[in-house]
Chain A
Amino acid sequence: MIPIPAFLVVAGILFGIGAIGFLVRRNVIVALMSIELMLNAVNLTFVAFNRVHAEAHTGQVFAFFNIAVAAAEAAVGLAIVLSFFRLRRTVRSDAGDLLKN
């Protein structure tokens, strides 16, 4: 059996990749994907921890809800990106420079 810490380490690495991807990539679509990656890392963490605290299914339930919420979030996010693309013809986040101090 694979030890639990392995899952956690993988989740941590995934989360890190997602976070770094979000911060360094200027493409909004990639940023969205990075966020999804982070959420999935969280799901993995929850499910892995659920093995430690096996007396209840809290972690698994949490993961279910995360999936649903992530889908809704992604739907709205893509819609926003789409409307941004329609107006500005780009999906680069540094093109958003109209709102400044």
Chain B
Amino acid sequence: MNPALLTFQKLWPALAAGTVGAFVPRRSSRVERLGIALAAAACVLFVTMLWPDAVATEPASTLSNAERFPHLLSWLVFIPIVGGALMLFAPRQATKTVQWLTLGIMGAELVATLFLFKLTPTEGKYWIEESTPWIETFGIRYHIALDGFSYWLIVLTSVLTPIATYVSFGSIKTRLKDFCIAFLFLQGAMVGSLVALDLFLFYVMWELMLVPMYILIGVFGSTDRVRAAIKFFLFTMAGSMLMLAAILFVVLKYKALTGEMSWDLNDLQRLNFPLTTQRWLFWGFAIAFLIKVPMFPVHTWLPDAHTNAPTGGSIILAAVMLKLGCYGYIRFAMGLFPHAAHVYGATLAGVAVVGGILYGALCAMKQNDVKRLVAYSSVSHLGYVMLGIFSRNPASMEGAVLQMVNHGISTGALFLLVGVVYDRRHTRDLAEFGGLAKVMPWYAAVFLVVTFSSIGLPGTNGFVGEWLIMSGAVLSKGTLGQWGRSQAMGAALGVILGAVYMLTVAQKMFFGPLDNPKNRKLPDLTRREGIALAPLVVLIFVIGLFPRIFTEPMHVTIEPWIRDFNARVEVPPVELATVAPKPAAPTPTPVPAPAQGGE
């Protein structure tokens, strides 16, 4: 068939949606129509590409992923970073140009992300890898790879960053260029940390995230921003310094045992440490990640950071940056120190339930500031994610990764919505609002949808993630021990508490009498806010109704990963540090050792 025709055959639903979007709603301006048409087309395109059949109809390519898309991951990392560097030369006064350039770069990133959907998931190993020497003297490599853990988080990053940026253009009026550059670097660093397999590269990207976020909070935040920014920075940096010490120790141990230096996760995973050493090193890593998540005793930076960050910063912080803590915990803390992770898993799960889910929810209930409330709800939701990770069975892990995405979408949307009313009233005090549904019907509707997603109503995305996590926790006798069930029950109690505080918010804000005269004339959602929220609302239902689209690619990685992990835990810890011979982690299907792609 004619290739043009073939393309048309594939794209017709998107085209149709675009046409409908362009003509049906009676809108005045042409730009507005174009925007709606593009948004509609993009949503449909997204869904068609995700549709389970779509993968099947694709003729199975004989080429490997790396051969088809040789530098895809590098593009993903460097489009925003190089774009951000180039933006330095953009004219400061031309705000429109700066805005469009930023969105253009993020759009390019989104387009690059679409190619991820074309990858063939490979079971039990990285789907696509790139590896070149970087600093050969110390064995540091530029090694990046993608698998089911990072797949959706990358997609989430490149979908949410443009949304957060775009919606911020409404409220950020000063120093727009700095804002855009910070956002671009942040995006690049986040994607970079998600794909880095070399510990050095990971650490660089991990630290690189700090500075833009610091600037976002400190420059564009609200009243107490400087203190919040410094608190955020120092908390995270203290954690990462411990991690750096642990990384160095591991790398040098590897050198002492093999005679060569490597920072590569694949190499370092072959190290077997005695349990005592593992415990120390595990905590070195885990503290850094748990600060980022954040888990109970070290979560105090989060409410401050969220309350004071600008809307866009809050969205990114909640939606992506926190997930990096969870991701890092899985990939590095568990990947390198299985025994210690196993030993502490059950305890930490208890902390996640009591200190995260329940304590976070109780704190959220007591807040009057809506944004602070959402921040504490994040602590609570991340508790589920961590519980899922600690439970460590396929269902709970998939639920955890899915819940990361869900939380990104729903909490991102919540922060966005809080930002909307903050822009109008410059207050977030719950007592100031009431009866808003009368003056802002669209706003109220979207808020309710997002609230349902956040409390996990069936049909929305939150339900799927939480259900998977809890069902996994119930079945996790091997990991959580006798406490698995009670922890699942604690989590279930957390769902109820979540419903209580979220619905209280909705009730206080939208229903009841409209008695505050200042609220009488509040305008409803603007076009900008509508465009930004639409994809999130669509995604809430897409994930809620078709979760298999999302869990399937994860399953390919997670299932063998857990099997491998359990196999490693079953081997008793060694007395003295040793290193396993080169072809390391036994993959479930006997395939040749993972090809060092890109070489």
Complex contact flag A–B (Cβ < 8 Å): no
